[in-house]
A and B are shown apart, each in its own frame.
Chain A
Amino acid sequence: MKNRLIGTSVPRKEAFDKVTGRARYVDDVSFPGMIYGTTVRSKVARGRLRGIALGPGIPWDEFVVVTAKDIPGINAIHLINDDQPCLADGVINHPEEPVVLLAHPDKHLLEKARQAVVLDIDELPAVHSIEDALAKTAVVWGEDNIFKRYTIEKGDIAEAFANADVILEGHYETGAQEQLYIENNGVIASYSEEAGVTIWGSLQCPYYIQKALIPLFGVGPERARVIQLETGGGFGGKEEYPSMIASHAALLAKKAGVPVKIIYDRAEDMAATTKRHPSRTVVRAAVMRDGTVVGLDIDFAIDGGAYSTLSQVVLSRGLIHAAGPYSCPNVHILGRAVATNSPPHGAFRGFGAPQSIFALERHLDEIGKYLGIAPDEIRRRNFVKPGQTLATGQVVRDDVDMNVLLDRALEAAGWGDKKARFAVENREEGSVKRGIGLATFLHGTGFTGSGEKFLASIVGVEATADGHVRVLAASTEIGQGTNTIFAQIAGDALGVDYDVIQVGQPDTAFVPNSGPTVASRTCTIVGKLVETAALGLRQTLLGSGLLEEPYSSEQFVKACSAYVARSGELRAYAEYKQPPYIKWDEDTFKGDAYGAYSWAVYVASVKVDTLTYEATVEDFVALQEVGKVIHPTLAAGQIEGGVAQGIGWALYENVVWKNGRMANDRMTDYIMPTSVDLPPIRALFAESPYSYGPSGAKGIGELPMDGPGPAIVNAILDAVGIGIPRIPATPEVVMEAYLANTSVTRVCRATEVARG
């Protein structure tokens, strides 16, 4: 198999439709008789629902009204624990809890009606922070507010701490973050007794929604069909949440007898849907004078919000990434996902890893500062090497040399020159100080541990009557390039032109379950299945006598067409088989957490205005080893966009919580960086092929979320000598740290170990 398409920047499959406005998103779609739906929410963080009243001034007889009583099956959004109700029934656990659904042909009147519904709720004490959840100031979930607890153990942590030269402790926090896809959540649902429920929507994971609809309606999978329409971004925000909005629309459609469309406006989308889990991490490091980290004792906690949803999975990824790309021989990591009374936090690019990586990468700079060792040097002294083990005991099989990546990134960033120049300039009187900082990290590709084995994803390819080949997968195009890379991979496997390949619309009635579009798995895991399935189709065709090697693209198309004319159909499927070396123990968190990792070094140059405490990123270098770059333009786009999102998380995007509700639920007040706030972002790649990825490709999509936070805050430390312990490092946060003159000895309690 020769790569003719892979490694080139072919035009995006759906680019023409998108730039000409032909692409149809859910709000562009309408059905005869369709009406609109809306959601009445609790507004109270925690309480007991006493009653629901339909207030005066509204022609209620024109409305379809749905409450928990109208649910034909089980009142839960099926995911892992099924603890989240579809509609609140008696108990309120967060201020955006859906209680009543309304539908009406007039959108404007619908909004007036929404405001006229009166909920009688007795308020109960609520919990609004990780600390309060752990301290059980009120018990709001289970017996102890803890959704899940995991630990990782490696070596002998007690001995490491007893024998270290110094122990440094640091406390770090990261805030919630809104995904801010361009297109808000939205779906259309229809219902009939014969066909059951059909959902059209903006979503990442069609089969998640199907699995949620089945118990809710008490129907079989053949009567719960989900179709993905063109989707304006997801970033994880359309992984599990669409199951909620789809369930709501479906309940309304069933009662109304006509299709129902629900489109959230930006305020509702921001306040009610999922966000990145806030986190709090305590890192205790046992360190030798030369900077070798001999022991890491990490306490990692994330705020899951009111229901468990995906928090345990986010926790596990965060935990596994908490010890970074280092060989530290003695590790103890405690991870806890806790309940609070805010809307459930959920999937967001990086999925727990950015949070724990922030803490460790910040802490390494604090250790370096304390010991007088430069940030690059302290990392060199601790990098894991092939053959050594990560925190879970996983032996590094990737052919990676972090020192080489570090050298290349530092050179690209002009590290040495900038360090020297800033040191001189920062002594001048002006209010602007500059600094440079870095972060080194890895990110596991695909589902954690045995996740991929359990998913057992399937991909199909089929020949069409006119001789094209269509990829059949539930993996969605959400702006990241799924359609394009699948066509490249299939095209090269078949040895045909790019235009020969089509990508089928994800529709649970027609495509096999290739798993969710999450976890940087689409290219590596699903792409490999596309390749395998395509090779299967090619074998069938070659064996049929209709095609002989060597063949041209035209000859292939003719042969395909002839095969379909002769036999009716030509399809091939591939199912995921776990690489044989992967061993994972879910109970002890020991073994091969991921089949492969992508490795990265990010460098940020930052200026800090000491008059206004504003930090601005002036230059950004993002170097990553990703196995193989399938599409250079898309890959660079993923990195640039991810770094921009990471800069937002690091400096600007501050969710202001009031009693568990996002108070700044509009883009005027929730500040994401615009193009003028962003630096040039230089995306650089290294390639060390992974045997189980298509042409060697590993994951890319989430990686860029991991590095910007710590690299930027480390650059602030370099600029002004202030170690910021939390992000977003808004000017207010920087000012408080500045006025307190936060230094390593305050951020990290340093304990010199007495030697006998």
Chain B
Amino acid sequence: MRAHVASYDLVQPGSLREVLTLLAREPGVYRPLAGGTDVMVVYAGGKLAHTKFVDVHGLRELRGIVVTDDAVTLGALTTYTDVQAEPTLGREFPMMGQAASETGGWAIQNRGTLGGNIANASPAADSPPALLAYDASVELTSTRGARWVSYATYHTGYKTTVRAEDELVTRVRIPRIAPGAQGSRVHMFRKVGPRKAQAISKVSFAACVDVDGTRITSARVALGGVAPVVLRVVATEGALVGADVTTLDVAAIGATLSREVTPIDDIRSTARYRRRVAENLFVELTRKLKAHVGLGSQAR
């Protein structure tokens, strides 16, 4: 443990109201601490620059998953274990459970929270690409009130977000498809990490594509680890929407995706690798789509 423990302050108000009051009184002074799965690693390494924290992990108000006709709404303290256990998510949003099951190991999955993951805003986080692909929204709450923002507009730069310093991530909402909607849906999630578990991703890929017959009616494709933020590749999505799966220009759209990502070299991988794998995973998505509409060989 390289941190000097006495140099840190941790306060534990008993309720959401008290936490929000503290954040309003001294904006930016206290940083919310949820599962701590990222903060504690930095702390142990003696590199945790921020010294004042407010513990929100015990707030009952931020727990629980509510399923309604139009959405699944998850409390910010929903753990990765909770995500994997929720049957509606498993049925309709399988990439959520997949991402959760590939995050860290069991201990991390029991402790880490979706809200903490979103607030921490790492571009290598595992669940955010799936949240983007499912068009999720995030609720930000302060003493000034609560507001919903589309998760697609939440990240503004490397570890920066639209969250104001007095705001807390309180809920996440994933819209459900209306019963009787036309067509069918293809989900593809892939985390590419340095090993099968207990790993930080190098590249992650989440795509949710709606197909009516052979025509793509909606496409959301998101990647982690290839830009300062978890990224929706909107130009790629634009090229997919309206296209016919049987006549996709895979090379051209792949080139579009390649232009949209801006990966870097770091201690975990190289820019060349991240870009190439992102391209390959896109090609794999198109294979999956073709298999889905009954063309080509079975997707693997």
- B240 CB within 8 Å of chain A: no
List residues of chain B with CB within 8 A of the CB of A267: 2, 45
Q: Which residues of B from 1 to 46 have beta carbons under 8 Å from A?
A: 1-7, 41, 45-46
List residues of chain B with CB within 8 A of the CB of A652: 194-195
**Is there an interface contact between A656 and B267, defined as CB atoms closer than 8 Å?**
yes
List residues of chain B with CB within 8 A of the CB of A668: 41, 200
- A59 CB within 8 Å of chain B: no
List residues of chain A with CB within 8 A of the CB of B300: 430-432
A431 to B200, CA, bound (A): 23
- A429 CB within 8 Å of chain B: yes
- Other-chain residue from A108, A610, A732 in contact with B269 (beta carbon distance below 8 A): A732
**Is there an interface contact between B273 and A673, defined as CB atoms closer than 8 Å?**
no
Q: Which residues of B from 175 to 208 have beta carbons under 8 Å from A?
A: 190, 192, 194-200, 202
List residues of chain B with CB within 8 A of the CB of A265: 1-2
- A674 CB within 8 Å of chain B: yes
- A612 CB within 8 Å of chain B: yes
**Is there an interface contact between A108 and B195, defined as CB atoms closer than 8 Å?**
no
> Scoring A residues 90 to 129 as 1 if CB is less than 8 Å from chain B, else 0, what string do you get?
0000000000000000011101100100000000000000
A668 to B194, CA, bound (A): 10
A613 to B279, CA, bound (A): 13
List residues of chain B with CB within 8 A of the CB of A430: 297, 300
Q: Which residues of B from 249 to 280 have beta carbons under 8 Å from A?
A: 267-270, 272-273, 276-277, 280
- B284 CB within 8 Å of chain A: yes
* CB-CB nearest in chain B for A666: B45
**Is there an interface contact between B267 and A664, defined as CB atoms closer than 8 Å?**
yes
**Is there an interface contact between B194 and A671, defined as CB atoms closer than 8 Å?**
yes
A431 to B287, CA, bound (A): 11
- B226 CB within 8 Å of chain A: no
A451 to B202, CA, bound (A): 47
Number of interface residues of A (CB under 8 A): 36
- Other-chain residue from A111, A664, A732 in contact with B273 (beta carbon distance below 8 A): A732
- A731 CB within 8 Å of chain B: yes
Tell me how far the C-beta of A187 lies from the nearest C-beta in chain B, rounded to whole angstroms.
Answer: 19
If the complex has contacts A611-B280, A612-B277, A732-B269, are A111 and B195 also in contact, measured as CB distance less than 8 A?
A: no
List residues of chain B with CB within 8 A of the CB of A586: none
- Other-chain residue from A428, A611, A673 in contact with B281 (beta carbon distance below 8 A): A611
Tell me how far the C-beta of B225 lies from the nearest C-beta in chain A, rounded to whole angstroms.
Answer: 12
List residues of chain A with CB within 8 A of the CB of B197: 674, 676-677
If the complex has contacts A111-B2, A735-B272, are A612 and B192 also in contact, measured as CB distance less than 8 A?
A: yes
**Is there an interface contact between A669 and B268, defined as CB atoms closer than 8 Å?**
yes
> Scoring A residues 671 to 688 as 1 if CB is less than 8 Å from chain B, else 0, what string do you get?
101101100000000000
* CB-CB nearest in chain A for B270: A732
Q: Which residues of A from 695 to 752 have beta carbons under 8 Å from B?
A: 730-732, 735-736, 739
* CB-CB nearest in chain A for B265: A732
A630 to B198, CA, bound (A): 36
List residues of chain B with CB within 8 A of the CB of A610: 280
Most buried by B among A429, A611, A671: A611
**Is there an interface contact between A431 and B284, defined as CB atoms closer than 8 Å?**
yes
A432 to B298, CA, bound (A): 13
Size band of the interface chain B makes with A: 35 or more
List residues of chain B with CB within 8 A of the CB of A674: 195-198
Tell me how far the C-beta of B223 lies from the nearest C-beta in chain A, rounded to whole angstroms.
Answer: 14
List residues of chain A with CB within 8 A of the CB of B190: 612
- A663 CB within 8 Å of chain B: yes
If the complex has contacts A112-B7, A731-B273, are A429 and B297 also in contact, measured as CB distance less than 8 A?
A: yes
Tell me how far the C-beta of A616 lies from the nearest C-beta in chain B, rounded to whole angstroms.
Answer: 8
* CB-CB nearest in chain A for B284: A611
List residues of chain B with CB within 8 A of the CB of A612: 190, 192, 277, 280-281
If the complex has contacts A430-B300, A668-B200, A674-B198, are A108 and B273 also in contact, measured as CB distance less than 8 A?
A: no
A676 to B105, CA, bound (A): 11
**Is there an interface contact between B196 and A677, defined as CB atoms closer than 8 Å?**
yes
List residues of chain B with CB within 8 A of the CB of A669: 200, 267-268
A614 to B203, CA, bound (A): 13
If the complex has contacts A611-B280, A735-B273, are A671 and B195 also in contact, measured as CB distance less than 8 A?
A: yes
**Is there an interface contact between B200 and A735, defined as CB atoms closer than 8 Å?**
no
A739 to B270, CA, bound (A): 14
A92 to B1, CA, bound (A): 27
Q: Which residues of B from 118 to 162 have beta carbons under 8 Å from A?
A: none
A732 to B300, CA, bound (A): 22
- Other-chain residue from B1, B195, B268, B280 in contact with A673 (beta carbon distance below 8 A): B195
> Scoring A residues 300 to 340 as 1 if CB is less than 8 Å from chain B, else 0, what string do you get?
00000000000000000000000000000000000000000
A424 to B66, CA, bound (A): 50
**Is there an interface contact between B4 and A112, defined as CB atoms closer than 8 Å?**
yes
List residues of chain B with CB within 8 A of the CB of A739: 276
**Is there an interface contact between B41 and A108, defined as CB atoms closer than 8 Å?**
no
A611 to B281, CA, bound (A): 7
* CB-CB nearest in chain B for A667: B198
**Is there an interface contact between B3 and A111, defined as CB atoms closer than 8 Å?**
yes
A731 to B280, CA, bound (A): 13
Q: Which residues of A from 651 to 669 have beta carbons under 8 Å from B?
A: 652, 656, 663-664, 666, 668-669
A68 to B273, CA, bound (A): 46
A673 to B198, CA, bound (A): 10
Q: Which residues of A from 613 to 652 have beta carbons under 8 Å from B?
A: 613-614, 652
If the complex has contacts A431-B300, A673-B195, are A108 and B4 also in contact, measured as CB distance less than 8 A?
A: yes
If the complex has contacts A111-B46, A671-B195, are A663 and B280 also in contact, measured as CB distance less than 8 A?
A: no
- Other-chain residue from A107, A429, A663 in contact with B267 (beta carbon distance below 8 A): A663
A701 to B246, CA, bound (A): 58
**Is there an interface contact between B4 and A109, defined as CB atoms closer than 8 Å?**
yes
A267 to B276, CA, bound (A): 32
> Scoring A residues 532 to 557 as 1 if CB is less than 8 Å from chain B, else 0, what string do you get?
00000000000000000000000000
A676 to B276, CA, bound (A): 26
Tell me how far the C-beta of A102 lies from the nearest C-beta in chain B, rounded to whole angstroms.
Answer: 14
Tell me how far the C-beta of A649 lies from the nearest C-beta in chain B, rounded to whole angstroms.
Answer: 14
Tell me how far the C-beta of A712 lies from the nearest C-beta in chain B, rounded to whole angstroms.
Answer: 15
| Sample (24) of A-B pairs whose CB atoms are under 8 Å apart | A108-B3, A108-B6, A109-B4, A111-B2, A112-B4, A265-B2, A267-B2, A428-B297, A429-B297, A431-B280, A431-B284, A611-B281, A612-B277, A612-B280, A613-B277, A656-B267, A666-B45, A669-B200, A669-B267, A674-B196, A676-B195, A677-B195, A732-B269, A735-B272
Closest 9 CB pairs of A and B: A671-B194, A611-B280, A112-B4, A676-B196, A732-B273, A430-B300, A656-B267, A108-B4, A429-B297
A contacts, CB < 8 Å to B: 107-109, 111-112, 115, 265, 267, 428-432, 610-614, 652, 656, 663-664, 666, 668-669, 671, 673-674, 676-677, 730-732, 735-736, 739
Q: A265-B2, A430-B300 are in contact. List 13 more A-B contacts (CB 8 A).
A: A108-B3, A108-B4, A108-B6, A111-B46, A112-B7, A265-B1, A428-B297, A652-B195, A666-B45, A668-B41, A730-B194, A732-B272, A736-B272
